Amino acid sequence: MMDYRLYVFDRSGHIRGVTMLTCESDEAAAAYATSQGDGRPMALWARDREIRRFDAVDEEPVRKRRKL
């Protein structure tokens, strides 16, 4: 088991929260982080090693116009 930190950022890149978690592997920690995503950017770390970054998701999807 390894300890991980999931940092949540605001849109300007400032840390808004951190969740401490313990998981069996990097893949399990990344899966947990993915399930916690709410559109804000996040970063998953294990000690001094960055595991994965999660980009921000637009709040309102842009609709494509259809050509007639």
Take residue 22 and report the two structure tokens written for it: 């313990």
For the cut 80, the answer to whether the pLDDT of residue 55 exceeds it is yes
19-51 pLDDT, tens digit each = 999 999 999 999 999 998 888 999 999 999 999
Average pLDDT over residues 47-59: 88
Asked whether residue 8 is domain-assigned, the answer is: yes
1-23 pLDDT, tens digit each = 999 999 999 988 999 999 999 99
pTM of the full structure: 0.79
Asked whether residue 67 is domain-assigned, the answer is: no
Asked whether residue 60 is domain-assigned, the answer is: no
Nearest to 38 by CA among 4, 10, 12: 10
Take residue 42 and report the two structure tokens written for it: 């996040």
Note down the domain range covering 36.
2-54
Asked whether residue 62 is domain-assigned, the answer is: no
Asked whether residue 7 is domain-assigned, the answer is: yes
Predicted local distance difference test score (pLDDT) of residue 12: 87
Residue 53's contacts (CB-CB under 8 Å, 6 or more residues apart) are 41, 42, 43, 44
Asked whether residue 66 is domain-assigned, the answer is: no
Backbone angles phi, psi at 31, to 5 degrees: -65, -45
Q: How far is residue 5 CA from its own chain's centroid?
A: 11
Predicted local distance difference test score (pLDDT) of residue 34: 92
